[in-house]
Amino acid sequence: MTANALTQSSTRARRRWRLTLQRREAIACALFIAPAVFGFLAFSALPLLASAYLSMTDYSLAGVPNFVGLANYQSLFSDRFFWQAVRVTLTYAIVIVPAWIVSSLALALIMNQNLRGMAAFRTVYYLPAVLSGVGVVMLWIWIFNYRSGLLNIGLGFLGIQGPNWLRDRNWALFSIMLMSLWSVGWYLPIWLSGLQGIPTELYEAAEVDGAGTWARLWHITLPMLSPIMLYNLVINILFATQLFTEPLMMTGGGPDLATLSYVLYMYNNAFSYLKVGHASAMSWLLFLVSLVVTALIFKLSPLWVHFEAERRGER
């Protein structure tokens, strides 16, 4: 073999190994997303699959899990505490989801005004979203204190004897709802970004046509915000069904199980009663119900969500 032939052979080999730009980018992309994918597999997908398996066992954190089939699911349906937890969570979600959406949207509409000092207000309202959940709950426990709480003292000035917010079964869940409203600021940036994305020419055109404030809100703002509303609706439903920290810390699920939320009962099953199988079954039921509800919302969304790009495409 001549030296020339050797050189040609070596060049061919190098060409074989030289990657195209597209392939190099693909590899770089794979490397960049690898930690996230690995993290998802290790810390989400695997535990998810494990919990699916555990939901069909009698695992108690001690000992070895024994396969029991669907017995955990069956026993849940005959467990009145399970149904109480479902009732509490549903009540909470039905009240709090619309309340969150309406109040946060109303706040966002106000915050969207070009008024002096509005940036400070935006910060103040967003503050609860960045505070520690436990700290906020402790604060509210004091606000709700029957004798010396801020709320009842305030009501006292008006000549009203406030209720026993957290220890009266008729008020306890309502108190938690009231406290939950405090965190509406969390949604403000989302609404505000949506509001600021609405083209001003739409409002100008409406004004020229003589549309008033309500007409503009109803016919421009709300339709244009409907994709954001869809997002908030889904997220809010998921948040509401996962009510946990507040009842855990404020009421422990009482009084008389009036605030026993679904996730709190799930947690009790896992860590207080050591019924990990039951808890896993509960978590899968919650997942499946959330999935169905979310799918249903998306299925119905074309009826009320205004996707501008799609409409343009339709034309």
Partner 1 sequence: MKSKLITRRRFLQLSAFATASAATLAACAPAAQPGAPAAPSDTQAADVPTTAPSTAAGLTGQIEYMHYDLGPANQSREEAVRAFEQANPGAKVKLSVLPYDEMYQKVAATMAAGQPPDVIYGDFSLLRYALEKQLLDFSDYFKADPVLSKPDLFITDMTDAVQAKYGTSRMHALIMGTWVPILYYNKDIFDAAGEPYPTDDWTWDDAREAAKRLTKPEQGQYGLQFGTTFDNVGWLWWLQKPDDFWAVPQVFPAKTAFDSPVGLNVMRLYYETSVVDKSQITPDENATYQVYAGGFGAGKVAMFSGGDWDAGWSFRDLQFNYGMALIPKMRADYRPALNTMLSTNAIAAATKNPDLAWAFARFLTADKEGATIIGRGAYETPVLKEVAMSDAVLKPEWAPQGYDARVRAAALPGPMYTPYPLNLNLWEFPSKFLDPTIEKLRKGEMKPEEAVAYLDSEGIPYFAAQREEMKKFGIE
What is the spatial distance between Cα 143 and Cα 151, in angstroms, rounded to a whole number? Answer: 6
Contacts of 212-217 with CB under 8 Å at 24 or more apart are 217/109
Supply the minimum distance, in Å, between the C-beta of residue 105 and partner 1: 36
Supply the minimum distance, in Å, between the C-beta of residue 147 and partner 1: 5
Among 112, 268, 280, 283, binds partner 1 (CB under 8 A): 268
DSSP state of 67: B
Among 3, 5, 36, 62, binds partner 1 (CB under 8 A): 62
Supply the minimum distance, in Å, between the C-beta of residue 32 and partner 1: 17
Q: Which residues, numbered 144-183, are part of the site for partner 1 (CB under 8 A)? A: 145-148, 164, 167
> Judged by CB under 8 A, does residue 53 bind partner 1?
no
Q: Which is nearer to partner 1, 256 or 310 (CB)?
A: 256
For 151-171, give one letter per residue: b (16+ CB within 10 A) or e: bbeeeeeeeeebbbbbeeeeb
Binding residue count for partner 1, defined by CB under 8 A: 27
Q: Is the dihedral of CA 38, 42, 44, 45 positive or negative?
A: positive
Supply the minimum distance, in Å, between the C-beta of residue 276 and partner 1: 8
> Judged by CB under 8 A, does residue 51 bind partner 1?
no
Tokens for 91, please give them: 């009540």
> Judged by CB under 8 A, does residue 87 bind partner 1?
no
Contacts of 203 (CB under 8 A, 6+ apart): 216, 220
What is the spatial distance between Cα 183 and Cα 166, in angstroms, rounded to a whole number? Answer: 19
What is the spatial distance between Cα 38 and Cα 53, in angstroms, rounded to a whole number? Answer: 21
What is the spatial distance between Cα 138 and Cα 273, in angstroms, rounded to a whole number? Answer: 26
Q: Which is nearer to partner 1, 97 or 281 (CB)?
A: 281
What is the spatial distance between Cα 305 and Cα 222, in angstroms, rounded to a whole number? Answer: 9
Of 128-136, 193-201, 234-242, 253-261, the window that binds partner 1 (rule: CB under 8 A) is 253-261
> Judged by CB under 8 A, does residue 255 bind partner 1?
yes
Supply the minimum distance, in Å, between the C-beta of residue 91 and partner 1: 18
Q: Which residues, numbered 200-239, are part of the site for partner 1 (CB under 8 A)? A: none
Q: If you count DSSP H runs as helices and E runs as strands, how many of each does the chain have, helices first?
A: 17, 0
Q: How many CB atoms sit inside 10 A of residue 54's CB?
A: 22
Among 25, 204, 256, 310, binds partner 1 (CB under 8 A): 256
Supply the minimum distance, in Å, between the C-beta of residue 177 and partner 1: 21
Among 273, 287, 298, 304, binds partner 1 (CB under 8 A): 273
Supply the minimum distance, in Å, between the C-beta of residue 273 and partner 1: 4
> Judged by CB under 8 A, does residue 114 bind partner 1?
no
Which 3 state secondary structure label does DSSP give 157? helix
> Judged by CB under 8 A, does residue 254 bind partner 1?
yes
Supply the minimum distance, in Å, between the C-beta of residue 272 and partner 1: 4
Q: In the block, which residue shows the tokens 């205004």?
A: 306
Element (H, E) at 160: none
Among 271, 287, 298, 304, binds partner 1 (CB under 8 A): 271
237 phi and psi angles, rounded to 5 deg: -65, -40
57 phi and psi angles, rounded to 5 deg: -130, 175
Of 3-11, 54-62, 115-123, 177-185, the window that binds partner 1 (rule: CB under 8 A) is 54-62
**Site residues, partner 1 (CB under 8 A):** 42, 46, 60-65, 81, 145-148, 164, 167, 252-257, 268, 271-275
